[in-house]
Amino acid sequence: MQIRFEKRSDKLLETRAYLRRQATFILIALGFLTFSLAIGMMGYHIFERQDWLDAFLNAAMIMGGMGPVNAITTDAGKLFAGFYALYSGLGLLVTVGFIAAPLFHRFFHYFHMDISGSDQ
């Protein structure tokens, strides 16, 4: 699937097509978040030997910026938790970027379109 943004010479995208594009980017972001949560759950399950519910809780809390709930006891678990926290911080920026990209593109495209018939 290829998503093409308008060029400067193109007209502003219709509202329905824009909303469809925005929904696509939101779905991509949700897929990325789901993948990231799965990585965190597997890491806590493998390195800390937590059951799946506790692994979900800890991964979700780190992704949300709150930090782990359960104490990390193994060295491998501490390394994983540290790297996962760094990954989650970057993941937040990526997710916001994916969701905001169509909105910012539409905003900037509106103000930078070539307007035919102008004196410029």
The CATH code of domain 30-112 reads 1.10.287.70
Contact 43, 59 (CB under 8 A): yes
Domain boundary assignment for the chain? 30-112
Task: Answer whether 0.85 is exceeded by the pTM.
Answer: no
Q: Is the dihedral of CA 76, 77, 81, 82 positive or negative?
A: negative
Contact 68, 58 (CB under 8 A): yes
Amino acid letter for position 105: H
pLDDT digits (tens, 9 = 90+) for 46-79: 999 999 999 999 999 999 989 889 999 999 999 9
- pLDDT at position 113 is 60
d(CA 53, CA 59): 10
